[in-house]
């Protein structure tokens, strides 16, 4: 691919094969990470285009460019692609793979072949997800949540989509397993648990969620297939099943899944802020423990998705209470980030701008999460555009911006070249502005009663949809500028040198791009990861 500055860089040398085959057969964690990145970028663009189509349909009340049925299919596919193909693997599979082994001083993950295998399972899942659009009797129209009994009744091609989610879950489990073992076994000598950088820590907590939560949704998805094929009746009340049970099983996974998305994002942010403030991270242990606490307590709050589904009152207030408790460790992190910046010598470069956008969005997303977590207010805004705004603030505004921050932070490390700072800042401004214009109005019209997942609406919500539409356009322009900048710089950018930001973690001590073996000699660790001045 790109010609790099260094002779034995991983970009040049992979396996005994050359060219594309050298990538597809490589067990090098960095190459696998990059393959995930290219795949995920493609899916992100596809999912984004579908989102754009929805915004176009909603631009005016009434039917404009698609029928209601098509709209249902489009939001389902949009959701499935974004959730299962983009954000769940996102940071862990891309930056976890490329950087985690380096940051703990290892030459690779514990099971390099399994790592490549996970990538291929991901590809198979992706192919299935795409095929689900074309096979059978039409694209699935259930929404990404596959709620029963509709998902067991509809004639559309649900089985392929559900199977895709199952297969992707399998890939996620294997990646998590690999990371746990790697972090246990391959930390460099002297790197005790509390001398480990915080991004690997966040991946470690995430990996446990992947391992412990994913099987539950896996079996639930298989039950849907069994019910469709054999009329077993797990969830369909007509066959004696219980649809609420489906929701429980689904959210037992899918709430923790939101932490699979957000914990690595918090980890990325926790790397960037100390580097760009040139200050030791404030409250290292508090950050570690809050990650672990989020991972642990995050299991217990799934019921806040079901306040209106017919649970007992006791269960509802209990879940509401727990939801408030799980917000505390997230708040601890924000506090630690701000404290780390306090009196730091701040270097205003693109990764830092993306990071600030993350913190801002995440705070709005988190606070509106509390609105949804409170029983009384949730009843009012449940299944409205307010929920859409909330989770886009968390997922896109949070995880998405963290991903962009990560690309801009580690880009010089991965490619050995630097991008154009001005263009990067411009793209950040467009993406952030577009994002805000796109999603903030949804909070307001949501509170006014605009329902979620409707392809038509009353005229009083039109102003919000119009704002959102233009927001989407600004956002798209920003993404295009960014992609242009990055792709061009990967090949032609200035040579970056090993440590352009003055970082202290291990990846900045080796060549850019890293060599195939990462380290000539495995380093011996004697101090913590963030020893600035």
Partner 1 sequence: MENKISHTEHRDDTASKMGMWLFIFTELLLFGGLFIVYAVYRSKYSEDFHVAANQLNTFVGTINTIILLVSSMTVAMSVTALRTGNKSLTLKLLATTIFFAFLFLVNKYFEWGLKIDHHLYPGSELMLTLKRGELLFFGLYYFMTGLHALHIIVGMILLIVIYRKVQNGRLTKDDNALLENGGLYWHLVDLIWIFLFPLLYLIS
Residues binding ligand HEM (CB under 6 A): 145, 258, 261-262, 304-305, 323, 327, 330, 366, 369-370, 372-373, 378, 382, 387, 390-391, 394-395
Size of the site for partner 1 (CB under 8 A): 50
CB 455 within 8 A of CB 56: no
| Among 45, 114, 311, 444, contact with partner 1 (rule: CB under 8 A) | 114
In the complex, least distance from residue 219 CB atom to partner 1, rounded to whole angstroms: 4
Q: Which stretch binds partner 1 (CB under 8 A): 24-32, 40-48, 367-375, 502-510?
A: 24-32
In whole angstroms, the minimum distance from the beta carbon of 288 to Cu ion comes to 23
* CB of 206 vs ligand HEM, minimal distance in Å: 12
Residue 86 DSSP code: I
Selected binder of partner 1 within 24, 123, 124, 212 (CB under 8 A): 212
Q: Which stretch binds partner 1 (CB under 8 A): 6-14, 52-60, 373-381, 408-416?
A: 6-14
Q: In the stretch 261-290, what mask flags binding to partner 1 with x, by CB under 8 A? A: ------------------------------
| Binder of partner 1 out of 143, 233, 344, 449 (CB under 8 A) | 233
Q: Are 261 and 395 in contact (CB under 8 A)?
A: yes
* Bridge partners, 417 (sequence order): 495
| Closer residue to partner 1 in complex, CB, 210/384 | 210
Identity of the residue, 89 or 351, whose beta carbon is nearer to partner 1 in the bound complex: 89
**Least distance CB 419 / Cu ion (angstroms):** 36
Where on the phi/psi map is residue 197: left (φ > 0), alpha (ψ -120 to 50), or beta?
Answer: beta
Measuring CA to CA, how many Å separate 368 from each of 324, 431, 446, 461?
12, 21, 12, 20
What secondary structure does DSSP assign to 299-368, as a single string? GGGGGGG-TTS---HHHHHHHHHHHHHHHHHHHHHHHHHHHHHTT------HHHHHHHHHHHHHHHHHHH
How far is Cα 107 from Cα 520, in angstroms, rounded to an integer? 9
The H or E element that residue 417 is part of is strand 417-418
When asked if residue 465 is in the footprint of partner 1 (CB under 8 A), the reply is: no
Among 185, 380, 422, 491, binds partner 1 (CB under 8 A): 185
433 binds partner 1 per the rule CB under 8 A: no
Nearer to ligand HEM by C-beta: 88 or 106? 88
Q: Which of 1, 24, 123, 211 binds partner 1 (CB under 8 A)?
A: 211
Among 47, 48, 112, 478, binds partner 1 (CB under 8 A): 112
26 contributes a contact to partner 1 by CB under 8 A: yes
Q: 10 Å Cβ neighbour count for 522? A: 14
Residue number of the CB closest to ligand HEM reads 369
- Of Cu ion, partner 1, ligand HEM, none, which one sits near residue 328, judging by CB under 5 to 8 A according to partner kind? none
Angstrom distance (rounded) from CA 449 to CA 20: 51
102 binds partner 1 (CB under 8 A): no
DSSP annotation of 459 reads G
Rule CB under 8 A: is residue 222 a binding residue for partner 1?
yes
As a dihedral over the C-alpha atoms of residue 209, residue 210, residue 212, residue 213, rounded to 10 degrees, the angle is: 90
Among 55, 187, 228, 255, binds Cu ion (CB under 5 A): 255
Give just the sign of the alpha carbon dihedral 335, 256, 403, 370: negative
When the beta carbons of 85 and 223 are compared against partner 1, the nearer one is: 223
Q: Taking the complex as a whole, how short is the minimal distance between the CB of residue 369 and Cu ion, in angstroms?
A: 8
Residues 6+ apart with CB under 8 A from 462: 60, 61
Closest CA to 327 of 285, 279, 374, 378: 374
With contacts defined by CB under 8 A, name the span among 145-153, 218-226, 332-340, 381-389 that binds partner 1: 218-226
H/E run at residue 166: helix 158-185
Exposure string over 440-469, b if 16+ CB within 10 A, otherwise e: bbbbbbbbeebbbbbbebeeebbebbebbb
178 binds partner 1 (CB under 8 A): yes
- Within residues 503-522, the interface with partner 1 by CB under 8 A covers 516-517
Contacts of 41 (CB under 8 A, 6+ apart): 483
H or E element, residue 494: strand 494-495
Q: Which two tokens stand for residue 36?
A: 């995930």
Q: How far is the CB of 228 from partner 1 (least distance, A)?
A: 10
Q: How far apart are CA 441 and CA 459, in angstroms?
A: 15
> Which residue, 176 or 369, is less far from partner 1 as judged by CB?
176
- In the complex, minimum distance from the CB of residue 367 to ligand HEM, in angstroms, rounded to a whole number: 8
When CB distances are held under 5 to 8 angstroms depending on the partner's kind, the choice from Cu ion, partner 1, ligand HEM, none that residue 372 binds is ligand HEM
At its nearest, how many Å lie between Cu ion and the CB of residue 257? Answer: 9
C-beta closer to Cu ion: residue 303 or 493:
303
**What is d(CA 349, CA 273) in angstroms, rounded to the nearest whole number?**
11
Site for partner 1 in 363-392 (CB under 8 A): none
Residue from 177, 297, 423, 466 in contact with partner 1 (CB under 8 A): 177
Report if residue 390 touches Cu ion, rule: CB under 5 A: no
60-99 residues labelled b (16+ CB within 10 A) or e (exposed): beeeeebeeebbbbbbbbbbbbbbbbbbbbbbbbbbbbbb
Site of interaction with Cu ion (CB under 5 A):
255
Site of interaction with partner 1 (CB under 8 A):
8, 13-16, 18, 26-28, 107-108, 110-114, 173, 177-178, 180-182, 184-186, 211-212, 214-216, 218-220, 222-223, 226, 229-234, 239-242, 245, 249, 516-517
């Amino acid at each position: 691919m790109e010609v790099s500055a260094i002779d034995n860089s991983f970009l040049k040398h992979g396996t005994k094969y050359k060219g594309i085959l050298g990538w597809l057969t490589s067990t090098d964690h960095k190459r696998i990470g990059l393959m995930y990145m290219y795949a995920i970028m493609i899916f992100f663009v596809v999912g984004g285009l579908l989102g754009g189509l929805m915004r176009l349909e909603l631009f005016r009340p009434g039917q404009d460019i698609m029928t209601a049925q098509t709209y249902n299919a489009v939001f389902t596919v949009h959701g499935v692609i974004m959730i299962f193909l983009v954000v769940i693997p996102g940071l862990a599979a891309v930056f976890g793979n490329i950087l985690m082994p380096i940051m703990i001083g290892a030459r690779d993950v514990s099971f390099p072949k399994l790592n490549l295998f996970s990538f291929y399972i991901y590809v198979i899942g992706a192919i299935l997800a795409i095929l689900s659009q074309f096979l059978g009797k039409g694209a699935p129209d259930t929404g990404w949540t596959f709620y029963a009994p509709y998902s067991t009744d509809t004639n559309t091609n649900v089985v392929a989509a559900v199977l895709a989610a199952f297969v992707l879950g399998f890939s996620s489990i294997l990646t998590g397993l690999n990371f746990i073992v790697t972090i246990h076994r391959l930390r460099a000598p002297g790197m005790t648990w509390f001398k480990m950088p915080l991004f690997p820590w966040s991946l470690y907590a995430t990996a446990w969620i992947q391992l412990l939560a994913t099987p539950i949704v896996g079996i639930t998805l298989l039950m849907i297939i069994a019910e469709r094929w054999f009329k077993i009746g797990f969830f369909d009340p007509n066959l004696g099943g219980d649809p609420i049970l489906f929701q429980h099983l689904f959210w037992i996974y899918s709430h923790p899944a939101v932490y699979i998305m957000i914990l690595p994002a918090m980890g990325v942010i926790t790397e960037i802020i100390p580097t760009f403030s040139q200050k030791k991270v404030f409250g290292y242990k508090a950050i570690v423990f809050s990650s672990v606490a989020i991972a642990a307590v995050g299991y217990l709050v799934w019921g806040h998705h079901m306040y209106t589904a017919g649970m007992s009152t006791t269960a509802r207030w209990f879940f509401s209470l727990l939801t408030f408790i799980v917000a505390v460790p997230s708040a601890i992190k924000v506090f630690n980030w701000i404290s780390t910046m306090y009196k730091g010598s701040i270097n205003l470069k693109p990764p830092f701008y993306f990071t600030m956008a993350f913190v801002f969005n995440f705070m709005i997303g988190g606070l509106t999460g509390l609105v949804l977590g409170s029983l009384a207010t949730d009843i009012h805004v449940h299944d409205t555009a307010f929920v859409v705004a909330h989770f886009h603030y968390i997922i896109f505004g949070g995880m998405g911006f963290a991903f962009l921050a990560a690309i801009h932070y580690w880009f010089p490390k991965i490619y050995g070249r630097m991008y154009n700072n001005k263009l990067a800042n411009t793209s950040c401004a467009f993406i952030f502005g577009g994002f805000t214009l796109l999603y903030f109005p949804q909070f307001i019209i949501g509170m006014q009663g605009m329902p979620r997942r409707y392809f038509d609406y009353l005229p009083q919500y039109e102003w919000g949809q119009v704002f959102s539409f233009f927001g989407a356009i600004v956002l798209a322009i920003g993404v295009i500028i960014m992609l242009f900048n990055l792709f061009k710089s990967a090949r032609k950018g200035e040579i970056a040198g090993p440590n352009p930001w003055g970082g202290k973690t291990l990846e900045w001590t080796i060549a850019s791009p890293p060599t195939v073996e990462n380290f000539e000699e495995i380093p011996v660790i004697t101090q913590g990861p963030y020893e600035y001045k």
